């Protein structure tokens, strides 16, 4: 019995390690966003899964320029809605080591961009928005 337990322990340890790595191989969680121009933290964004796709919403604004800001530049149902709590990324599908096919909203200017994202390590997420052939990439940092 002791010999059996000694032979099984490495397999159990390996399974536990692989399972822990799989949990962090997903962008699901809370991320800190940083302003590209100032380097200052802007918000905390929660990425969550719904119907097999990833979505993201702003759960906290950091030092907003005004109390309870709204998306004055947004169109349609988002116009003048509070930015905190707003879904800013939707319909992201897995595509190899990336997630793509969805869109991302910049609540500062109301523009919606095609989007793709990928993890760099477990704690950095590259988020790229496209407008035609042009793009901008931000790095988000994992909080949880």
CA distance 112 to 104: 6
CA distance 78 to 62: 20
CATH class in words for 27-142? mainly beta
CA distance 131 to 112: 9
So what's the pLDDT on residue 3? 63
Domain boundaries, the chain: 27-142
Which pairs count as long-range contacts for 59-65, CB under 8 Å and 24+ apart, including other chains?
Answer: 59/30, 59/84, 59/85, 60/84
Confidence of residue 11 (pLDDT cuts 50, 70, 90): very low
pTM of the model: 0.81
CA distance 67 to 84: 11
55-113, pLDDT tens digit by residue? 999 999 999 989 999 999 999 999 999 999 999 999 999 999 999 999 999 999 999 99
């Amino acid at each position: 019995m002791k010999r059996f337990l000694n032979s099984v322990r490495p397999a159990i340890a390996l399974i536990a390690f692989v399972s822990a790595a799989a949990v962090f191989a997903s962008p699901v969680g809370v991320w800190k966003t940083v302003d590209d121009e100032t380097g200052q933290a802007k918000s905390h964004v929660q990425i969550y899964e719904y119907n097999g796709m990833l979505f993201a919403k702003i759960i906290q604004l950091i030092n907003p320029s005004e109390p309870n800001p709204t998306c004055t530049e947004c169109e349609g149902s988002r116009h003048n809605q509070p930015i905190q709590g707003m879904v800013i990324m939707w319909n992201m599908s897995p595509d190899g080591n990336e997630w793509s096919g969805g869109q991302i909203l910049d609540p500062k200017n109301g523009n919606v961009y095609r989007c793709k994202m990928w993890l760099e390590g477990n704690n950095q997420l590259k988020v790229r928005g496209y407008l035609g052939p042009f793009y901008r990439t931000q790095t988000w940092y994992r909080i949880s």
